[in-house]
Structure 1
Amino acid sequence: MLAGTDILDFPENSHYQVNFSCQYIGGPIWIFAVKIHTHRQGRLASLYRVRKRSIGPNQVQLIFKGNPQEFQSFNKLPLKIFVGDTDYLIGKCVYDNDDGSNIRER
């Protein structure tokens, strides 16, 4: 599974949050590892599973949260995460453009 954004255009000296989501349609799968990549401006990456069909404490489950600068390989999760038909995967990446560059990612 792959998720991402099309174009990011960061103003100089900005703190910027990018959200993304996708609905999984298919047979059951288990997520056992994740890989996050945000280029050098990324400061925080989070990934969640949202169950559309249930209400309660298990509706939103954190899959991964961390500093994307600390790793560039697949990271094994402590527990496998079940993803079923119609579940959503949502994420958030936070970027900082501290050096005043005009940054444009495609």
Structure 2
Amino acid sequence: MGLADHVAESSPFQQWLAENGADLEFDDSENPKRMRIDTILSQLKADSFEHVATIAAEPLEKWSKSGNDPTVLRGAQLTWKTPGGGSETGFVGAVADR
């Protein structure tokens, strides 16, 4: 199935992926498995980098607006770059709820 079968190329979700340098992988059941965002994000709201919870909530909204069940995307792993040069991983839903 892949991404093209989940959302149209011009869908809000597809546009969000492109704008944020994000990549979405699917599992064998063709559900979202892992999302990588190629952006430095911070867990601190007062930081100069974008807040990770805000960015994690955006794809859920776009996924839903594209006609998909957001609970499926909430369970996907999200990996992002940290200000210190490393990376962190969490589930999309849990990170968005922070």
Q: Same fold (TM over 0.5)?
A: no
TM-score (norm 1): 0.31
For CA contacts below 8 A with separation 6 or more, give which structure has more relative contact order.
Answer: 1
